[in-house]
Amino acid sequence: MAQHLALSLLLIASLLFRTHARPHMGENPMIHMITEELHELDYSLLKVVGHTRHALDFARFAHRYGKKYNSANEIRRRFHIFAENLEMIKETNSNGLTYTLGINEFADLTWQEFRGHRLGAAQNCSATKGTHKLTDTPLPDSIDWRKTGIVSPVKDQGSCGSCWTFSTTGALEAAYTQATKKGISLSEQQLVDCAMAFNNFGCNGGLPSQAFEYIKYNGGLETEESYPYLGKDGVCKFNNENVGAKVANSVNITLGAEDELKHAVGTVRPVSIAFQVVADFRFYKGGVYTSKTCGSTPMLDLQEG
């Protein structure tokens, strides 16, 4: 009996020691839960945000995207922005819309910061005149060019307003693969560095229609391997020995002509498009995106279907 009691006391003492040996993060049990789930995350972040609302979501976000903040004030600021964005995402998703939003790497940025990092200056898309000719070819009820294997994998433009270059290469890569049955990755950095004479502005924006003109008169576009992406403005280093694809001609879709766009996507191949980006689009997760709000900054993308 005495031995059994002594063993019980020893086990209790051991349990108490293990409990009090945990890193001291305050008395809030949620903080302990965070540290157990995300033991690799720097404890300093959790010490700053404490047991405030959304602390667990913020800790998971920072861990997943490898966020590093330079000071306690920066942590507080980013947490405040994150919390506001999270509330906006939840409110939007509660409205039963045709699309959903979700947390991504931009959740600790303000709308102004996102625009500065990812969007170029507003471009005059109205200067693009339509040259696409409609035909009587029946249109499919739906189409997803990704299923045909001609659409390249998604690329990341980084903190450079170069979406126009990725839209350009995406359309050209699809056309090349459709024609040759071989995949290719083309150089966005060449367009950033070299296409300014065609009214493009590197990391500060441009238009695919003008990029296609540059490629046509330049004699081609290098491969990604020979002219890799850096995500910043640089000096043109074009080498015609490394050209991966050329443009014989390009066709424009009239601004706002949805029938032309539908016809081109349905009967030809993926096309480059420009659309106005508003604040909630940076958190797009899935579904058919619509908005009644007009922005002032276009984003260039590849329309696949």
- Give residue 125's pLDDT: 52
How many whole angstroms separate alpha carbon 121 and alpha carbon 178? 32
The residue ranking higher by pLDDT, 155 or 42, is: 155
Q: What is the number of H-type helices and E-type strands within the chain? A: 10, 6
Residues 221 and 190: beta-carbon distance below 8 Å = yes
CA dihedral 289, 290, 294, 299 (to 10 degrees): 20
Instruction: Tell me the per-residue pLDDT of 278-299, one tens digit each, with 9 for 90 and over.
Output: 899 999 999 999 888 765 555 5
Instruction: Tell me the per-residue pLDDT of 60-91, one tens digit each, with 9 for 90 and over.
Output: 899 899 998 988 899 999 999 999 999 999 99
- Give residue 275's pLDDT: 79
> How much is the pTM?
0.75
Residues 289 and 261: beta-carbon distance below 8 Å = no
pLDDT at 45 over 90: no
pLDDT at 154 over 50: yes
What lies within 8 Å, CB to CB, of 290 at 6+ separation is 97, 98, 99
- Give residue 175's pLDDT: 96
* High-pLDDT (> 70) share of the chain, %: 76
Instruction: Tell me the per-residue pLDDT of 158-207, one tens digit each, with 9 for 90 and over.
Output: 889 899 999 999 999 999 999 999 999 999 999 999 999 999 999 998 99
User: At 124, is the pLDDT very low, low, confident or very high (cuts 50, 70, 90)?
Assistant: low
How many whole angstroms separate alpha carbon 279 and alpha carbon 295? 8
Within 10 angstroms of residue 216's Cβ, the number of other Cβ atoms is: 16
Q: Domain locations in the chain?
A: 34-118, 145-276
CATH architecture of 145-276: Alpha-Beta Complex (3.90)
Cα distances from 207 to residues 137, 167, 225, in angstroms, run 29, 9, 23
User: At 15, is the pLDDT very low, low, confident or very high (cuts 50, 70, 90)?
Assistant: very low
Instruction: Tell me the per-residue pLDDT of 219-267, one tens digit each, with 9 for 90 and over.
Output: 999 999 999 999 999 999 999 999 999 999 998 887 778 888 899 999 9
Question: 34-118 has which CATH code?
Answer: 1.10.287.2250
Residue ranges with strand state E in the chain:
99-101, 221-222, 243-245, 271-277, 284-287, 297-303
Same CATH fold, 145-276 and 34-118? no
- Give residue 43's pLDDT: 61
pLDDT at 1 over 80: no
